[in-house]
Amino acid sequence: MTETSSPTLKQAQKNKLTLLLCIILTFTVMNGTMFNVAIPDIAEEFGLLPSEVSWVMTGYILVFAIGSLMYGKLADIYPIKTLLTIGIILFASGAALGFLSQSYPMLLAARTLQAMGGATIPALSFIIPARFMPNERGKVFGIVASTVAFASGAGPIAGGVVGGALDWRFLFIFSILSLIAIPFLRKWLPNEEKRDGKVDIVGAVLIALSITGLLLFITDGSLYALVFAIVTALLFGWRTVTYEQPFIQPSMLKNRYYTSAIITSFLGTVAMFGMIFVIPIMARDLYSLSTVQIGLLLFPGAMAAGIIGQFGGKLIDRKGSYPVTRIGFTLVIIGTILISTFTGFPPWIIALCILVQYIAFPLIQSSTANLLTIIIPKEKTGVGIGLFNLLNFLAGAISSAVFGSILDLSNVSTLLNPLAQNGENTIYANLFIGLALLSITALLFFSFIFKGFENNKGK
């Protein structure tokens, strides 16, 4: 693949583009989290079983996760301006179809179309700073990651308010409004020439099928899906080592720094989404909070993450990714231990504990993304960050399935945290101690692999 130089942006153009990216990214992330609170209403309207209505979220995550990798690969060849324009049009078109949906199949088609388009936004939001803002990429990564954290907390509140006051269909309005961003994106994004290269269609289909099987196994527990995922993964591996221009270059996966960075980010995202998944269930079970109250429980942490993430991005540019990643995981460990210890205490205390863990998310996301831009050759940034995004989405699906299964357990009496109170909160206290141990493992692994990396490679 022939490498081409990236256009230089003026500072005012960078600021406008960053703000616009954050706005459309907010629409995309909220579109996912808002519908969590609407699931019961959708099930009631269409007379669906829980396993049936779950496809409103499962189908969206499935297409979104695969799309995040595909668009990353396409960005190595085609202009980002073109990909984002097509993506936003698909995203808004799916939202319009969803707003008009009168049947469950029509709703599923709408969510699929939304995911096909919406996947462009987080995928390219991490590639744009790497390509067009190399001297400020840490700062912009921090802003992007803090936007994701903020929107994930604001989504349930917006969903509860809009869905409660009007109807769940009105949740699609937020996504339709994203069309407003197209003329500004086309004005502020630089023009690029199409790069040399081609997409390995067979490899793309194989990895998409493997991910589909894995997600179906995670969400539905189907052993057939697991076997299918393994077989297609093996075929993808064979294709990768035998084809001249495979979808993912083997040299990228052999790079221990690259694989270690995406594994570290994956584990951090598991801890983050595990907390977001468990807290609403715990709040309803132990405190009998309403949907809006649960959203308010998470909201201070989301707000704090939005603020701290921007500071963390500037810190990355000054000090490098290694110390910021370590700070992020240290905060996750402290936060999960605090939640475990104070489970069963008044909700406002839990909100403060959540805040500690929440602010770690943008630090880990932005610092590991910045590491990838150092490790990956410039002409492979798209697929490299695409795989990073894919694993983060899989982390959300895996954490929900695993922690949901754990919460199905009954009669848990052994308390793993000696500082916590025993009782009906025991399972929650144990679960958060488990997240703390997972985060400690991730921190030790990262520290071992990357110790001295930035001294040798630069920040």
Domain range annotation of the chain: 11-199+247-457, 200-246
Q: What is the 3-state secondary structure (H, E, C) of the chain?
A: CCCCCCCCCCHHHHHHHHHHHHHHHHHHHHHHHHCCCCHHHHHHHHCCCHHHHCHHHHHHHHHHHHHHHHHHHHHCCCCHHHHHHHHHHHHHHHHHHHHCCCCHHHHHHHHHHHHHHHCHHHHHHHHHHHHHCHHHHHHHHHHHHHHHHHHHHHHHHHHHHHHHHCCHHHHHHHHHHHHHHHHHHHHHCCCCCCCCCCCCHHHHHHHHHHHHHHHHHHHHCCHHHHHHHHHHHHHHHHHHHHCCCCCCCHHHHHCHHHHHHHHHHHHHHHHHHHHHHHHHHHHHHHHCCCHHHHHHHHHHHHHHHHHHHHHHHHHHHHHCHHHHHHHHHHHHHHHHHHHHHHCCCCHHHHHHHHHHHHCHHHHHHHHHHHHHHHHCCHHHHHHHHHHHHHHHHHHHHHHHHHHHHHHCCCCCCCCCCCCCCCCCCHHHHHHHHHHHHHHHHHHHHHHHHHCCHHHHHCC
* Digit-coded pLDDT (tens) for 139-187: 888 888 778 777 777 777 777 777 667 778 888 888 888 888 899 888 8
- Exposed e or buried b for every residue in 425-459, given b needs 16+ CB within 10 A? bbbbbbbbbbbbebbbebbeebeeebeebbeeeee
Is residue 190's pLDDT more than 50?
yes
Is residue 455's pLDDT more than 70?
no
pLDDT score of 458: 42
pLDDT score of 409: 67
* Banded pLDDT at 113 (limits 50, 70, 90): very high
Q: What percent of the chain has pLDDT over 70?
A: 91
Is residue 89's pLDDT more than 90?
yes
pLDDT: which is higher, 152 or 243: 243
Tell me, what amino acid is at 323? P
Is residue 457's pLDDT more than 70?
no
Q: CB-based burial of residue 5 (10 Å sphere; 0-12 exposed, 13-18 middle, 19+ buried)?
A: exposed
Is residue 236's pLDDT more than 80?
yes
pLDDT score of 439: 92
**Mean per-residue pLDDT for 341-355?**
89
**Mean per-residue pLDDT for 365-394?**
81
pLDDT: which is higher, 218 or 362: 362
Q: What percent of the chain has pLDDT over 90?
A: 13
Distance CA 435, CA 431 (A): 6
Is residue 313's pLDDT more than 80?
no
* Banded pLDDT at 366 (limits 50, 70, 90): confident
**Mean per-residue pLDDT for 338-353?**
90
Q: Which fold has domain 11-199+247-457?
A: Growth Hormone; Chain: A; (1.20.1250)
**Mean per-residue pLDDT for 185-205?**
81
pLDDT score of 198: 76
**Mean per-residue pLDDT for 407-427?**
75
* Banded pLDDT at 8 (limits 50, 70, 90): low
pLDDT score of 459: 44
Pick the closest to residue 111 from 43, 171, 37 (CA basis).
171
Distance CA 307, CA 330 (A): 18
pLDDT score of 34: 76
Is residue 2's pLDDT more than 70?
no
pLDDT score of 242: 86
pLDDT: which is higher, 109 or 292: 109
Is residue 389's pLDDT more than 60?
yes
* Digit-coded pLDDT (tens) for 11-64: 777 888 888 888 888 888 787 777 766 766 777 788 876 556 667 776 787 788
**Mean per-residue pLDDT for 345-369?**
88
Mean pLDDT of the chain: 81
